[in-house]
Amino acid sequence: MIDFQYLSSIRKQTASKIVMIVVDGLGGMTNPSTGQSELEAAVLPNLDRLAANSSCGVSTPVLPGITPGSGPGHMALFGYNPIKYLLGRGVLEGLGIGAPIGKGDVAARGNFCLLGDDGKILDRRAGRITTKECVELVELLKQIEIPGLGIEIYPVMDYRFVLVFKGEASSPNVSETDPQITGVAPLVSNPTSDGGTGTALAVNLFTQRSMEILKEHKGSANGILLRGFSNIPELPHFGSSYALNPAAIAAYPMYRGVAGLLGMEVLNSKQTFEDEIKTLEMNFSKGYDYFFLHYKPADSAGEDGNFSQKVAMLEEFDKKLERIVQLEPDVIVICGDHSTPSYISSHSWHPVPFLINSNLSQGKVGGQFTENSCREGTIGDIRAEELMLLVLSHAGKLNKFGP
Amino acid sequence: MIDFQYLSSIRKQTASKIVMIVVDGLGGMTNPSTGQSELEAAVLPNLDRLAANSSCGVSTPVLPGITPGSGPGHMALFGYNPIKYLLGRGVLEGLGIGAPIGKGDVAARGNFCLLGDDGKILDRRAGRITTKECVELVELLKQIEIPGLGIEIYPVMDYRFVLVFKGEASSPNVSETDPQITGVAPLVSNPTSDGGTGTALAVNLFTQRSMEILKEHKGSANGILLRGFSNIPELPHFGSSYALNPAAIAAYPMYRGVAGLLGMEVLNSKQTFEDEIKTLEMNFSKGYDYFFLHYKPADSAGEDGNFSQKVAMLEEFDKKLERIVQLEPDVIVICGDHSTPSYISSHSWHPVPFLINSNLSQGKVGGQFTENSCREGTIGDIRAEELMLLVLSHAGKLNKFGP
């Protein structure tokens, strides 16, 4: 992990190339009706063959029992302590739509909502208005001006938008206006530290003007709720911390955004995993020695609570994996940011299986790529933030520590 | 663990009820003559059935290789770092006899001892005097008065007593008078920080007056030795930290005392585990959502070095467990504060098996409730202070961390 203070004295630049594939929501749970997890039920010849010759283990994203969001899940895999380097909701939401958020900017997640005549919240999502209406309403709010403050506002999806206050005068240290319950009025934003006074004022002014504009418009929403005020924290640079020349390939903007924040070069890629692999193939022999590749569909199926769809998406990944193996990277890593068991239709705290394959990896007879088999692998149970150290050592990129 | 700074933002109050049973000294070691540990030798149908459907693991109480006392063992299970929140010997000894120790009071453990004519210690335990004589001697010492200082003194057992200096002027920062060897004189107490000057003076005055009184009495003891000066540390409140409404059921005063310090409601119960279960049954449908239940006999048998008695006490627990299962708690946790292998007749450092059973637990075919089987469970090896996070997540009482 980057918090190992001697890392800079032992890392070593070599020609070896690492491909690290993050299968979003990789781990699962036993489905009571079948007695198997998704990984156990899936037919995964390529993964199983690889696992039998790989150093395998399971990674705990944050702490035992703690279910991570995608932000902490990915930060940990890249070696950043997910508690110390927590990315705020506003920033992640902004990254998720590719909004340009600069150093010092403050981003918040917004909801269009419905207020009663008494000013109390009737519906925090304004009846889940359409994305089309969201775009219209955001256009209306763009007319709001606050002297001395840059304001950007972006539609996201349905009732959600992102608000960005530009510039150094902004502070994330302000309280949220979203009470996250109905039947009460939106909250007034207050500074939570000295620096937040001006921003809290701006938040309340913006909220007030939005209500006036929305009331006049007579659409489905007549108010806004803001939460997750955050800016981009000081982050060690991924490439220079590990002496790597890293590239990121991800179809979804949020993962591109996180990789970009860490200083990875984000390669252009179209929407499917097929497209991502093409991008990898085209860039493989260029100067990069680390590729982060993101596979989303397994997580989506898990979130939908669809066991057989998650199995299918894992099998789909297994098929595609062949093309990546054919590139003959020196190190292949397959890991996940968190588990998403279809049994509970959500992220979970369960440790996530991983494999590291290189000429230095240690396989185990009978090894398979499942939760239980990987736990019994030659690495065993680690914190996710320790994974990168093992990846570097399997790549021959770390010297001895201490005399 | 409570040191996870974001706990208050993710904990969730729900209707689910947790019963957490601490089997004192649960873990054991292989007995060379049988080739089995106590848990392996015992016939435990209820525990084995539960284990096969539970998330199992082993918990290291403090650090690998460190053998904990009962204090650190329990603090860790409740999620308190056992090093940071170390309860002193004087305080624990006081809690063990139900002595009222308030905020700011300083408690010490005392020995009646035998000194030679030269003032050097001949026997640190005064020939292990009877509890009856201890009570008499304590009565005598109650006449000691030190201006401006409240003094309470309680007999414990045999040669042991507890001394409490009452009130805010007292300080635990004084050195011990017990050198823990014979052939030297009792030590003079000195302040170990500025605040300790007055208390050190009082300790030496009390020791001097005790010697005068005991000399006059001409009993088996003619001196006292004091150690473990301590007060009650600042402790986060168990219930509000976890958003739980907790109750404790324990026959032994020390465990009731620890639970009380953490802010649990200590329910009245008589002396046996049978009595404890009755108390649980009577209170189960009241407003509590977390019950701590303490089972002592396995530890006592281990301390006595009695393998077959420990096996019998585990089997006894297994039988009683049925009544707890019949209450249908949403979550059943069975864990231990430390191992007490009868092979070594004492507490040990060995990781302690545990199981967590709920509708979210992950069992494993062939799972049993033994040291080795639990280590191969779906949770594996954790620090004891992490257990509560897993308990809460199995109870559905934790939201996602981070966006």
A162 close to B (CB below 8 A): no
A177 φ/ψ sector (left φ>0, alpha ψ -120 to 50, else beta): alpha
A175 close to B (CB below 8 A): no
Domains (range + CATH), chain A: 7-86+236-394 (3.40.720.10), 92-230 (no CATH)
Measure CB to CB from residue A29 to each of B362, B390, B403 and give the nearest one.
B362
Measure CB to CB from residue A65 to each of B362, B380, B393 and give the nearest one.
B393
Confidence of residue A1 (pLDDT cuts 50, 70, 90): low
Q: Which residues of chain B have pLDDT under 50?
A: none
- What is d(CA B60, CA B70) in angstroms, rounded to the nearest whole number? 14
Cβ distance B380 to A381 less than 8 Å, yes or no, reads yes
B53 close to A (CB below 8 A): no
Confidence of residue A194 (pLDDT cuts 50, 70, 90): confident
Confidence of residue A271 (pLDDT cuts 50, 70, 90): confident
Q: Name the nearest CA neighbour of A16 among A352, A361, A263.
A: A361
**How crowded is residue A257: how many other Cβ atoms within 10 Å of its Cβ?**
24
Q: What is the pTM of this model?
A: 0.92
Q: Give the model's pLDDT for residue A336.
A: 98
CA B60-B360-B282 angle, 5° bins:
85
Window 91-130 of A: residues touching B by CB (8 A cutoff) are 92-93
Query: Which of A39, A66, A372 to mutate to probe the B interface, most B CBs <10 Å?
Result: A66
SS3 B361: coil
Residue A4 Cα, gap to closest chain B Cα (Å) = 20
For residue B384, the chain A residue with the least C-alpha distance is: A64
Measure CB to CB from residue A65 to each of B378, B381, B386 and give the nearest one.
B386
- What is d(CA A292, CA A255) in angstroms, rounded to the nearest whole number? 10
> Quick one: tokens of B205?
């005055």
SS3 B309: helix
Q: Give the model's pLDDT for residue B2.
A: 72
- What is d(CA B171, CA A51) in angstroms, rounded to the nearest whole number? 60
Cβ distance A87 to B378 less than 8 Å, yes or no, reads no
Measure CB to CB from residue B402 to each of A71, A93, A372 and give the nearest one.
A71
The predicted-structure confidence for A198-254, as pLDDT tens digits, reads as follows 999 999 999 999 999 999 999 999 999 999 999 999 999 999 999 999 999 999 989
Reduce the secondary structure of B30-81 to three states and give it as a string: CECCCCECHHHHCCCHHHHHHHHCCEEEEEECCCCCCCCCHHHHHHHHCCCC
> Quick one: tokens of A67?
């279910």
- What is d(CA A302, CA A350) in angstroms, rounded to the nearest whole number? 13
> Quick one: tokens of A370?
């499942």
| Residues A264 and A239 sit within 8 Å (Cβ to Cβ) | yes
| Residues A335 and A20 sit within 8 Å (Cβ to Cβ) | yes
Residues of A in contact with B381 (CB under 8 A): 381
A196 close to B (CB below 8 A): no
Burial string for A221-242 (b: 16+ CB within 10 Å, else e) reads bbbbbbbbbbbbeebbebbebb
Q: What is the mean pLDDT of chain A?
A: 95
Burial string for B7-35 (b: 16+ CB within 10 Å, else e) reads beebbeeeebbbbbbbbbbbbbbbbeeee
Reduce the secondary structure of chain A to three states and give it as a string: CCCCCCHHHHECCCCCCEEEEEECCEECCCECCCCECHHHHCCCHHHHHHHHCCEEEEEECCCCCCCECHHHHHHHHCCCCCCCCCCCHHHHHHHHCCCCCCCCCEEEEEEEEEECCCCCEEECCCCCCCHHHHHHHHHHHCCCCECCEEEEEEEEECCEEEEEEECCCCCCCECCCCCCCCCCCCCCCCECCHHHHHHHHHHHHHHHHHHHHHHHHCCCCCEEEEEEEECCCCCCCHHHHHCCCEEEECCCHHHHHHHHHCCCEECCCCCCHHHHHHHHHHHCCCCCCEEEEEECHHHHHHHCCCHHHHHHHHHHHHHHHHHHHHCCCCEEEEECCCECCCCCCCCECCCEEEEEECCCCCCCCCCCCCHHHHHCCCCEEEEHHHHHHHHHHHCCCECCCCC
**How crowded is residue A138: how many other Cβ atoms within 10 Å of its Cβ?**
18
A341 close to B (CB below 8 A): no
For residue B385, the chain A residue with the least C-alpha distance is: A64
Burial string for A330-344 (b: 16+ CB within 10 Å, else e) reads bbbbbbbbbbbbbbb
Residue B263 Cα, gap to closest chain A Cα (Å) = 23
| Residues A24 and A293 sit within 8 Å (Cβ to Cβ) | no
User: Which helix H or strand E contains B196, and what residues bound it?
Assistant: none
**How crowded is residue A212: how many other Cβ atoms within 10 Å of its Cβ?**
11
The predicted-structure confidence for A132-142, as pLDDT tens digits, reads as follows 999 999 999 99
Q: Give the model's pLDDT for residue A277.
A: 98
> Quick one: tokens of A78?
């890249």
In this predicted complex, what is the ipTM?
0.91
B6 close to A (CB below 8 A): yes
Residues of A in contact with B382 (CB under 8 A): 64
Cβ distance A67 to B386 less than 8 Å, yes or no, reads no
Q: Give the model's pLDDT for residue B144.
A: 97
Cβ distance A72 to B401 less than 8 Å, yes or no, reads yes
Query: Torsions phi, psi of B106, nearest 5?
Result: -120, 125
- What is d(CA B266, CA B330) in angstroms, rounded to the nearest whole number? 21
| Residues B357 and B331 sit within 8 Å (Cβ to Cβ) | yes
Q: Give the model's pLDDT for residue A148.
A: 87
- What is d(CA A198, CA A188) in angstroms, rounded to the nearest whole number? 14
Q: Name the nearest CA neighbour of A22 among A190, A205, A268, A273.
A: A273
Q: Give the model's pLDDT for residue B391.
A: 98
| Residue B193 to residues B171, B172, B174, B187, B199, Cα–Cα distance (Å) | 9, 9, 7, 17, 11
The predicted-structure confidence for A351-378, as pLDDT tens digits, reads as follows 999 999 999 999 998 889 999 999 999 9
**What average pLDDT does the segment A393-402 reach?**
97
Query: Which of A31, A160, A349, A385 to mutate to probe the B interface, most B CBs <10 Å?
Result: A349
